[in-house]
């Protein structure tokens, strides 16, 4: 049990898959181009460490501003949700009161219409 070959075969499978993918010409060209670009970047940054430091600082600043924006958006959304929670009972009361007002006025209109139908002037028509 202590002599598991699982990990070893996974590594061998990955190596075999990588080698088989190199049979494709466009894959080989892509890997060579990316490798050359990486070597050029390593060479440049080894000669100019200040450029690397500047690039890292720019990337850090970009992610910090993104984080601040997301945090601000989250705070705004939370405040809107809290406001909605406090307004919901008030809105519910307004809707219920409006509904009751319409139902009451509907009953009053029915009463007025039925009274006018029963009036002597309505019977003459």
CA–CA separation, 45 and 32 (whole Å): 20
Structural domain for 12, as ranges: 8-47
What is the average pLDDT value for the chain, to the nearest integer? 87
Q: Is residue 88 part of a domain?
A: no
CA–CA separation, 54 and 5 (whole Å): 46
Q: Is residue 94 part of a domain?
A: no
Structure confidence at residue 1 (pLDDT)? 47
Number of domains in the chain: 1
**Which of the given ranges, 58-72, 88-102, 110-124, has the highest pLDDT on average?**
58-72
Q: List the single range of 5-19, 49-63, 69-83, 87-101 with lowest mean pLDDT.
A: 87-101
Tokens 């929670």, located at residue: 85
Tokens encoding 77: 């959304």
Q: Is residue 24 part of a domain?
A: yes
How many residues are given for the chain?
Answer: 125
Structure confidence at residue 97 (pLDDT)? 84
Which pTM does this prediction carry? 0.47
> Using only C-alpha atoms, what is the Rg of the chain?
38
Tokens 């009036």, located at residue: 119
pLDDT band, residue 53 (cuts 50/70/90):
very high
Q: Is residue 26 part of a domain?
A: yes
Structure confidence at residue 90 (pLDDT)? 80
Q: Is residue 27 part of a domain?
A: yes
């Amino acid at each position: 049990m202590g002599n598991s070959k699982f990990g070893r075969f996974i590594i061998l499978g990955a190596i075999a898959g990588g080698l088989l993918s190199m049979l494709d010409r466009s894959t080989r060209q892509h890997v060579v181009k990316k490798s050359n670009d990486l070597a050029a970047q390593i060479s440049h940054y080894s000669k100019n460490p200040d450029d690397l430091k500047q690039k890292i600082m720019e990337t850090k600043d970009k992610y910090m501003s993104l984080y601040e924006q997301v945090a601000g958006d989250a705070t705004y959304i939370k405040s809107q949700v809290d406001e909605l929670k406090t307004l919901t009972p008030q809105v519910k009361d307004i809707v219920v009161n409006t509904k009751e007002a319409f139902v009451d006025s509907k009953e009053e209109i029915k009463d007025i219409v039925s009274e006018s139908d029963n009036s002597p002037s309505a019977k003459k028509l």
